[in-house]
Structure 1
Amino acid sequence: MTPKPVAKPSLLVLVAISTLQPIALNLLAPATPALARHLGASYATIQLTLTLFLVAVALTQLIIGPLSDRFGRRPCVNAAIVLFVLGSILGALAQSTGTLLLARVLEGAGAGTVFALARAIIRDTASRDQAASQIASVTMVMVVAPMIAPYLGGHIETWFGWRMIFWGLTAVGVIVLLLTVARLPETAPSVGVKTSLLGIFRAFPDLVVDRGFVVNVIALSMTSAAFFAFIAAAPFIVVETMGRGADVYGAYFMLNALGYMIGNFAMSRLAVRLGAAPMVKLGLVISFVATGVGLALSFSPYWTPLALFLPLAVSSVGNGLTIPGSTAAALSAKPELAGSAAGLMGAIQLGAGALATVLISWLVTVWPQSLVAMMWLMMVVGLVSLRFLKSARNT
């Protein structure tokens, strides 16, 4: 008997569910100094709104695949969006730091679920080439989302206060939920099959001893963690150290997203011709040089928002080369374990980002230049890790 063909979701649905995470992550960032003042908490404590969000997303990456295999993609996506909406409402009504942090955990769990399942849905319904095209389209929008979100978040906080940011996220969540209820079909190939969570963990030991996987995950994690550290600390530098408004941070942040788009476009055009590995190294070298320039400028008397953001926008061009290249290389280390590799890689990537936000949120209040210093050191670690991969290939 011929299996019934699986209905394909529209690109609009895939884009909608994929952008919840970057929007929720970046929309609140410009308001963190105002949150600290309003709730009477330290800046490091308020930055847990970013850290715990990332932790929730990281943990979700590990477990949601097996759950959606058993119960289906559609119910997991819809339930996750409901969780995201509840978290957003709780954030809008929060009167204490603890309630605010709980709200961000709920948002992170919901956004992390739909982010992970968007890629699974694409794999369910498309061939390899079609999937590559759809993922590229979705990724392009995901780059635009963090470019616009800080700008909007900064202006919303300036004009209406930080609570309106959460009400805005609530509205976005409700709109996406209505869209998925109406237009997201079930795509899982074998709903109801009992998949043990332990099964996915059994592949992890094989991955952590594979040098190709480990080295590329280190490069990916250092690059991503540097970006998350920037999100955590740059608002404090711009608002508290440089005395500018949250809207200024949001406007300059667009330079970083533009740089990443340029790097991503270059990778898509040159990877086949030059190879992903040289492009990853080139990306790290660009980021290393750019953050080094940014570090030098941070000690000058002319350290302005432009002097902070412009070198790091160039670094973002390098990130646009490194992140997709190292991601593809890590997943290709053991193709038969690609699913487990994606979950473990995502958890390590976001876990490193969470740790970086904890550390930098404290350091930046003591020494503002620590942000650029940390980002530069992370690029050093990424470049050094590539030497281990090269030495393995020569042995």
Structure 2
Amino acid sequence: MKHNMSRYAFYSLTVTFTILSVLGQVSTSIYSPFFFDLATMYDSQVSIIEQSVAVFLVAFSLSQLTSGIVCDYVNKQKFLFYGIIVFIAGTLMVALADEESTFLIGRVVQGLGGGVGVSVSRGLSRQIFSEKQLNTSLSLINIAFAIAPAIAPLVGTIIGESLGISAIFYFVLVMGLLALFSLFSVSSILSYFTPPVSDNVYSNTLVLIKSTIVKLVSVGMASGLLYGIVFCFITIAPSMVMQQFGLSKTLFSIYSLLATLSFVAGSVLNIRLTSLSPFQKFRVSSFCLAALSVLFALTVFSGSQSGLVSILAYCYIAFFFIGLAMPCSVTIMLGYSETSAGFLAALTGFFHLTGAAIGAYVVTLLTLEPTEAFSLATCALSIASIAICFTLKKH
């Protein structure tokens, strides 16, 4: 059946899966330029608003792991509907929140719903697409996955300054409704192409866990900590860049976009470096990132002036190496099994988002100046990652 899928059906499904995959990223990045405004609105501290990123990521990572495991045993299409409804409910809570506690709870609910879309759509993609179609679909989704969080702050700035902060969250609500409509529109296609639930998933997954659990955890932790550096920047950047240097929200959004382009450039280089294995590229890029982070931290704590140029230069180079390392880590993880790829994809997402939550939360706990907190957190994360990385062996 896979090979009889029309181009219309293929692209309709890919668009739907893309929207489902980027909902979580957009809902997090779109309001980052307004951390200070939200703190004022709720008569709260900026650190509390910054922690909304971390609590979302914790919920998102747990949801992604759980839904990735569960979806192999249930109707994936219905599971997706439930996930979108939960995300919409959380978005309504955030949009209507009149105090910080309601805002944070809404972010948790958003994360629980958003994680379902990522894992389950990946599982469906593997089941209904041919190998060539799967490669094309995932490539398109990955492009959107990288670009969406970069464009979101700029979109949020335009909406927030024109219509008010609450309008930002109503925009996210519209995206959730669009995802629900898209899923309804392709429901007949999904019903036709989705195979019945396999009876051997449980036994295959148990064998995989027993034979490779240490390796899976090691690779997942090493790559997740690198992802944490990205969210260190996302969380502390408004304080570190906007407040310290007095940049406008628009200019801040543009600088954030350039950081994502650096990430994309690293991913493109990963494709080009065919002479090196994913394992080699992951190690080399992790080592370069650790050396760069230590150098940046020494510069900051030595009393040298940390100007905007030096901060952005570090961020862009760091994002480049992370963009090179992350696809390699996913390739390594998925390489451990073909039959349990859905479980491995969920496990990969869990470690990445757990690392992101650690990075986002730790940087808010450090009672230091924003630049010092950022440099110390990224240095610790990169050193921990490379320490784990060098215990790994090729499989």
TM-score range, shorter chain: 0.7 to 0.9
Contact 1:158 1:247 in 2 (8 A): no
Q: Which amino acid aligns with 2:94?
A: G
- What is the correspondence of 1:246-261 to structure 2 with a 5 Å cutoff? 246-261=249-264
Q: In the superposition, relative to structure 1, how do residues 92 and 367 fare at CA in structure 2: closer, same or farther (>3 Å)?
A: closer
Relative to structure 1, is the Cα distance of residues 319 and 364 closer, same or farther in structure 2, using a 3 angstrom cutoff?
A: farther
Amino acid at match of 1:303: G
- The answer for unaligned runs of 5 or more in structure 1 is none
> Is 1:190 aligned to residue 192 of structure 2?
no
In the alignment, what sits opposite 1:357?
360
Distance 1:147 1:349 in 2: 18
State the match for 2:60 in structure 1: 57
User: Equivalent residues in 2 for 1:2-151 (5 A)?
Assistant: 8=10, 9-151=12-154
Worse-matched range after superposition: 27-36 or 137-146: 27-36
Q: In 2, distance between residues paired with 1:176 and 1:182?
A: 10
Determine if contact 1:219/1:322 at 8 Å carries over to the other structure: no
- Which residue does the alignment assign to 2:345? 342
Cα-to-partner distance string for 1:191-214 (whole Å, 9 max, x where unaligned): 5x799999968854544333xx33
Residue in 2 that maps onto 1:153: 156
For the pair 1:275 / 2:270, whether they are aligned, the reply is no
Percent of aligned pairs with the same amino acid: 21
- In structure 2, the residue matched to 1:303 is 307
The separation in 1 between residues aligned to 2:388 and 2:68, in whole angstroms, is 29
Which runs of no fewer than 5 residues in structure 2 stay unpaired?
A: none
Q: Which amino acid aligns with 2:284?
A: L
Cα distance 1:118–1:336, how it changes in 2: closer, same or farther (>3 A)?
Answer: closer
Q: Match for 2:282: what amino acid?
A: V
1:356/1:302 Cα in 2 relative to 1: closer, same or farther (>3 Å)? closer
Q: TM (normalized to structure 2)?
A: 0.87
SS of residue in 1 equivalent to 2:196: coil
* Cα 1:69–1:219 shift into 2, 3 Å: closer
SS in 2 for 1:215: helix
**2:213 matches 1:208:** yes
Structure 1's 327 and 366: CA in aligned 2 closer, same or farther, altered over 3 A? same
Q: State the AA in 2 paired with 1:29.
A: S
Q: Aligned AA for 2:184?
A: V
Q: Deviations over 1:240-277 (max 9, x none)?
A: 3333333332121011100011111111222x432112
Q: Do 2:123 and 2:342's aligned partners in 1 also have CA atoms closer than 8 Å?
A: no
Q: Secondary structure at the match of 1:47?
A: helix
Report the CA distance shift for 1:84/1:3 in structure 2 as closer, same or farther (over 3 A): closer
Amino acid at match of 2:246: G
**1:158: Cα distance to partner?**
3.6
**CA offsets per residue over residues 144-189 of structure 1, 9 Å max, x none?**
1011112222343344332121011011111222121112423542
Q: Distance in 2 between matches of 1:335 and 1:70?
A: 17
**Structure 1 length normalisation: TM-score?**
0.87
Question: Is the alpha carbon distance of 1:335 and 1:196 closer, same or farther for their aligned partners in structure 2, counting shifts above 3 Å?
Answer: closer
- 1:221/1:352 contact within 8 Å kept: yes
Q: CA contact under 8 A between 1:233 and 1:364: conserved in structure 2?
A: no
2:287 aligned residue:
285
* Aligned position for 1:326: 329
Q: Distance in 1 between matches of 2:29 and 2:42?
A: 20
Q: Secondary structure at the match of 1:115?
A: helix
- Name the structure 2 match of 1:375: 378
**Counterpart amino acid of 1:55?**
V
Alignment RMSD, CA only? 2.9
| Matched position secondary structure for 2:246 | coil
In 1, distance between residues paired with 2:201 and 2:392? Answer: 33
- Residues 5-46 of structure 1 deviation map (CA, whole Å, 9 limit, x = unaligned): 787553222222222122112112222222122212222322
Q: 1:105: Cα distance to partner?
A: 1.3
Asked whether the 8 Å contact 2:20–2:121 carries over to 1, the reply is yes
| 1:322 partner amino acid | A
CA distance in 1, matches of 2:69, 2:384: 33
Distance change >3 Å, CA 199–CA 235, structure 1 → 2: farther
Contact 1:22 1:145 in 2 (8 A): yes
Secondary structure of the structure 2 residue equivalent to 1:19: helix
Task: Give the length in aligned residue pairs.
Answer: 386
